[in-house]
Amino acid sequence: MRELEERFAEELTVIGVHSGKFIAERETSRIADAARRLGVMHPVVNDRQFRVWRSYAVRAWPTIVVIDPEGYVLGMHAGEFTTEMVAPALEEIIAKAGAGLRRDALHHQADDRAHDVLRYPGKVAVREKTIAIADSGNDRVVIAELDAGRGSARVLATHGGARGYRDGTDPQFDHPQGLLFDRGDLLVADAFNHAIRAIDLATGETRTIAGNGQQLRTRSDAAAGALSSPWDLARAGERVAIAMAGNHRLYLLDVAKGSARPFAGSGAEEIHDGPRETAALAQPMGISANETTIWFADSETSAIRSASIDPKGIVSTLVGTGLFDFGDVDGEGTAVRLQHAQGVVGMPDGRLLVVDSYNDALKWLDPETQRVTTWVRGLSEPGGAAAGDGVVYVADTNAHRIAVVRIDDGSVTTLGLDWA
């Protein structure tokens, strides 16, 4: 839609109709935050009771409806689409309307939040005294040095700051998400550029490791090395595991070769365990790993799942039961309900820390017993977390901050950032 809006800036009015699946997605304030976070400037209707959905006989997310200047429905399409699938029809409508077409498309003003603060941070990574922040709403990556108390940090560098796709010493990103320190580099899951980028920590130069800036849609795209909304990264033995949210898969990346290949998931959007190639995932958005196992937050099924790195390994579900099974319930196994969890962190004691995004909470998960207990509440749609020295750093997305949570008592403060 963004491409269509830019291409037909004067002629096309887009009205988003948000019919939310999750309870949290039906709150107007959260919808407004999501629109600002994603750069959505057109009006959005909160269709919380699915009245507009039913009136247009919609059956799937997403669905596009084309309406002519007289108000008549000309066509509908359910599912993903490309600009070129829709543009010819719009050009024909515009040509027929001629001078009678109003050219005053509705748009909101962009969020002009000050540039020296965070804006919808999505993910965070820590290595010793260095913290990296995916400042997603500002299309940049912030690198800072933590102080001795770990409660504040001095900004060392920022990379990016304007939406786009460019390598070099003056790079551009588009909604960066997962981060991973990898020897002398910081790897970045550049979600809306559909690429894995690397920032050289010594020189500040950015290069593309995998992906080409285009979203994977066809076999020819795959042959050209395209990816689809990589959302998080984790070291898995000698390779890097990628939560590929856009096509419901996990990938493994060989950094040296720049080769990213599917590892788990058939591409179907569902929760189905079994051999890696036939298992079905649903928008994985958070990932953690060790030498033998990848754990991932399967966001659309509100599930935490695992994939064995063994070539004959399988995908298993720890908690979560279905695409429409969600809530806020502690317990064990199938009794547990999360709501669109977007992060999972492997802790030194063997537990998993779950970033339960739409419940505004952090929860502990014991992978052996599959027991979940709530640890921290009162966050604001957190997107990711990283473990530090006695603390956990949380990308508290809608609060525009990095929260610092003490592991011993669960107390929460805000990371101070010195931008001088």
- Which CATH number covers residue 21? 3.40.30.10
- Residue 342, domain member (yes or no): yes
Query: By mean pLDDT, which of 61-75, 93-107, 353-367 is the weakest?
Result: 93-107
Residue 110 pLDDT greater than 80, yes or no: no
User: Residues for the chain: how many in total?
Assistant: 420
pLDDT band at 382 (very low <50, low <70, confident <90, very high): very high
Q: Is residue 114 part of a domain?
A: no
pLDDT at 107 over 80: no
Residue pLDDT, tens place only, 41-60: 888 999 999 999 999 899 88
Q: Residue 6 phi/psi, 5° resolution? A: -70, -35
User: Pairing state of beta strands 361-366 and 384-387?
Assistant: unpaired
Query: Which range has the worst mean pLDDT, 25-39, 236-250, 383-397?
Result: 25-39
Structural domain of 42? 2-100
Q: Tell me, what's the pLDDT at 115?
A: 54
Instruction: Please tell me the predicted confidence (pLDDT) of residue 96.
Output: 83
Tokens describing residue 68: 């002519």
Q: Report the C-alpha gap between 413 and 97 in whole angstroms.
A: 57
What is the model's pLDDT at position 80?
Answer: 79
Mean local confidence (pLDDT), 329-355: 97
Q: Domain check: are 381 and 269 in the same one? A: yes
Q: Encode pLDDT of 151-204 as tens digits.
A: 999 999 999 999 999 999 999 999 999 999 999 999 999 999 999 999 999 999
Same domain, 268 and 388: yes
112 occurs within a structural domain: no
Judgement on whether residues 257 and 395 belong to the same structural domain of the protein: yes
Q: Do 294 and 173 share a structural domain?
A: yes
The answer as to whether 113 is a domain residue is: no
At 103 the pLDDT is: 66
* CATH number of the domain within which 177 lies: 2.120.10.30
Based on the domain organization, do 140 and 66 belong to the same domain? no
- Between the two ends of the chain, the Cα-to-Cα distance in Å is 38
Q: How many domains does the chain have?
A: 2
Mean pLDDT, all residues of the chain: 93
| pLDDT mean over 216-245 | 95
Task: Report residue 229's pLDDT band, with 50, 70 and 90 as the boundaries.
Answer: very high
